[in-house]
Amino acid sequence: MLKQERWVDTTDHYKLYVRTWGNEQLPAMVLVHGYPDNQEVWEKMIPSLIQHFYVVTYDVRGAGRSSVPKKIVSYRLPQLANDLESVVNRVIANRPFHLAAHDWGSIQTWEAVTEPRFKGRILSYSTISGPCLDHAANLLRKVVKAEPLQLVKLLGKSWYIGVFHMPLLAPTFWKHSSERQWQTFLTQLERQKGLPVSKRISTDGQFGINLYRANFIPAFIKPRQRYAQCPVQAIVLKHDRFVSPEYIAEMPNWVEDFSCVEVDANHWAVLSQSSHIADLISAFALKH
């Protein structure tokens, strides 16, 4: 695999570590990782994706080899959309691109997908286990009014979000975590041995908490009206321990060209079923 590395400056003067893969003459595909991962989480998919696409991956701020801002406000969604724009402007100039993202990568890239300035620039979007926070907040408001008991079910899988807002508990947990512990966790969750684990898992876990702290409360206090500017495919993981599939039901209200596919997998299907997920992303992008 042909791989190149580079650094990209952000609009607020930080550095993002970027890798590009394959033939740059092919259509561009940008992949954005979630939490507590870095861009290494996509590497099992790269051999499949570069058959059709010039692939761009990057460590989001606070993860991998990218800069770690100290202020929580530096992790707000509009800035994360600016980061995506900085990466594509530097790497593929004015070309349009396909986009796929997992977990917090998906949550943050919804900001760009629903931003009018990206209309025509983002050709397709595959979202995996990460709803738009504004869409999620609007759904929860509907549930509170119509079916209050349903709210418990929706929020039941998201208990960890409250923990991540506690000043000391979550950082302390990650400081005492190890690659071996995370490997054991992934093995049990995905029921598959030998899944790759980043050597940076402890630090990525510590710093990435700021993504939650910067965005969840503002979004749920005052959700915005956010409409997708491109076709969207939701890849729904049927056994996801952390994201409720019910959020997918809200997406058609905000997406004009929407499709959905279910996968018999848990949260880290990007690792445990990497070939299948890559095929789904490719097939959807090739249609657009």
More confident residue, 20 or 171: 20
What is the pLDDT at residue 248?
A: 87
pLDDT above 60 for 148: no
Percent of the chain with pLDDT over 70: 90
pLDDT, averaged across the chain: 91
pLDDT digits (tens, 9 = 90+) for 28-70: 999 999 999 999 999 999 999 999 999 999 999 999 999 999 9
pLDDT above 80 for 159: no
DSSP letter string, 55-91: EEEEPPTTSTTS---SSGGGG-HHHHHHHHHHHHHHH
Residue 201, CB-side half-sphere exposure with 13 Å CA sphere: 16
CA 152 → CA 143, 171, 222, 228, 241, distances in Å? Answer: 10, 27, 21, 28, 15
Length of the chain counted residue by residue:
288
Contact 140, 109 (CB under 8 A): no
Range 13-19 average pLDDT? 98
What is the pLDDT at residue 141?
A: 81
What is the pLDDT at residue 161?
A: 61
pLDDT digits (tens, 9 = 90+) for 109-124: 999 999 999 999 999 9
pLDDT above 80 for 213: yes
Secondary structure class of 17 (helix, strand, coil): strand
Give the gyration radius of the chain's Cα atoms.
18
160-164 contacts, C-beta under 8 A, 24 or more apart: 160/242, 161/212, 161/216, 164/209, 164/212, 164/213
Range 229-258 average pLDDT? 92
In sequence order, the 6+-apart residues with CB closer than 8 A to the CB of 71 are none
What is the pLDDT at residue 87?
A: 98
In sequence order, the 6+-apart residues with CB closer than 8 A to the CB of 169 are 163
Contact 209, 171 (CB under 8 A): yes
What is the pLDDT at residue 175?
A: 81
Range 259-270 average pLDDT? 96
Contact 260, 182 (CB under 8 A): no
User: Can you say how many angstroms the Cα of residue 275 is from the centroid of all Cα atoms in its chain?
Assistant: 18
Secondary structure class of 138 (helix, strand, coil): helix
What is the pLDDT at residue 251?
A: 94
DSSP letter string, 185-237: HHHHHHT-TT----TTHHHHHHHHHHHHHHHHHHHHHS------SS-EEEEEE
Question: For residue 172, what pLDDT band results from cuts at 50, 70 and 90?
Answer: confident
Range 166-185 average pLDDT? 82
What is the pLDDT at residue 173?
A: 80
Token pair recorded at residue 57: 């991956």
pLDDT above 60 for 146: no
Range 168-185 average pLDDT? 84
Stated pTM of the model:
0.94
What is the pLDDT at residue 162?
A: 58
What is the pLDDT at residue 145?
A: 63
